[in-house]
Amino acid sequence: MYRCGIWFILSLFPVLAIGAGQSINPVLDEKLSFRLGANFLNVDGSISSSLDSGPVNPNLDLDTLGIDDDYTSPYFGARWRPSERWRLTFNYFGFDNEGDISASFSDLDFGEIDVSGFVRVESQFKTDFYVIQGGYSFLKNERSELGVGLGLHIVDFDTKLKVSGQLGQYTGQIGVASTDLTAPLPNIQLFGTYAFTPKLFADGSLSYFSLDYDKYDGSLIAATVSLEYRLTKHFGVGLGYNYVNMNLDIDKSGEKNEYDLDYTGPKVFLSAGF
């Protein structure tokens, strides 16, 4: 098994070896490229918010709050090559859904909300991802490239809960809680591109973050892969898949917030490169 693994790695060098020659697909040489489309996200996981002055609240599943798992997000991507081997990329996608559920809760704790019984919970959960990556292609030829980079996942969370119902002899709004936090998460990245033909190519990236610094503690794994077909030299269509796994604790503004979430789903897009 060990020898087979060595031979497999060695077999990749003819494909990824540094070599001269004109690229068979324009994507490997374009100075600027853009993608615009839709990301069909499914989100699974839990969140919590606790006051520093009180006990740590248990996590609440998004399903428990009646928040729909599926959301269609706008997707935007851009890439700039200042030189043959250096590149800078930017991507955006997000999630924004509301929930409205009436149910019996044995213990509903979130921020200043602490109730039990049959209540109505109106909620909103929003996440915006702004991803900036700078990378260097250490292996590149006329058909492919492989590189590493450093980047930043800027994740903006906005959560709102409003609870109403009957509490004792009182009927009406019982409590309101909200969190609005931005987490800058530095990460390392591995990326690659492979051109099958002058019109068809695949690319992908894998980013990783695990750090305990300042008021942030946790990990993030993000992966994306896509297949693109150029209808003309400069314009094309594509499809792909995004995966983000996040386990993050934020201790900020008198609150302790925890996010244990998976964002997954396909994407489709139009592309332009020059």
- Model confidence pLDDT, tens digit, residues 141-187: 999 999 999 999 999 999 999 999 876 666 788 889 999 999 899 99
The pLDDT, as a whole number, for residue 139 is 94
Mean pLDDT of all residues in 6-20: 42
The pLDDT, as a whole number, for residue 266 is 97
The pLDDT, as a whole number, for residue 67 is 93
Taking the C-alpha atoms of residue 244 and residue 111, their distance in angstroms, rounded to an integer, is: 26
pLDDT, tens digit, 9 for 90 and up, residues 38-86: 999 999 999 999 987 777 888 999 999 999 999 999 999 999 999 999 9
Structure tokens at 55: 């006990």
Residue 169: half-sphere exposure toward Cβ, Cα within 13 Å: 0
The pLDDT, as a whole number, for residue 21 is 56
The pLDDT, as a whole number, for residue 116 is 85
Decide if pLDDT at 2 tops 60: no
The pLDDT, as a whole number, for residue 197 is 96
pLDDT band of residue 4 (cuts 50, 70, 90) is very low
Taking the C-alpha atoms of residue 120 and residue 264, their distance in angstroms, rounded to an integer, is: 29
From the number of C-beta atoms within 10 Å of its C-beta (0-12, 13-18, 19+), residue 125 rates as buried
Provide the b/e sequence for 17-50 (b: ≥16 CB within 10 Å). Answer: eeeeeebbbbbbebeebebebebbbebebbbbbb
pLDDT, tens digit, 9 for 90 and up, residues 230-270: 999 999 999 999 999 999 999 887 889 999 999 999 999 99
Tell me the domain boundaries of the chain.
2-273
Higher pLDDT, 22 or 274: 274
Decide if pLDDT at 105 tops 70: yes
Structure tokens at 189: 């990245």
pLDDT, tens digit, 9 for 90 and up, residues 191-209: 999 999 999 999 999 999 8
In the chain, the amino acid numbered 187 is: N
**Greatest mean pLDDT among 116-125, 129-138, 245-254:** 129-138
The pLDDT, as a whole number, for residue 159 is 95
Given 3.90.550.10, 3.30.70.360, 2.40.128.90, 3.40.640.10, which CATH number is that of 2-273?
2.40.128.90
In the chain, the amino acid numbered 118 is: F
Going by C-alpha positions, the residue among 187, 171, 170, 178 that lies closest to residue 224 is 187
Distances, alpha carbon 65 to alpha carbons 111, 115, 121, 125, 198, in Å: 14, 14, 7, 10, 49
The pLDDT, as a whole number, for residue 169 is 65
Going by C-alpha positions, the residue among 135, 194, 143 that lies closest to residue 20 is 143
Q: Residues 102, 168: contact at Cβ < 8 Å?
A: no
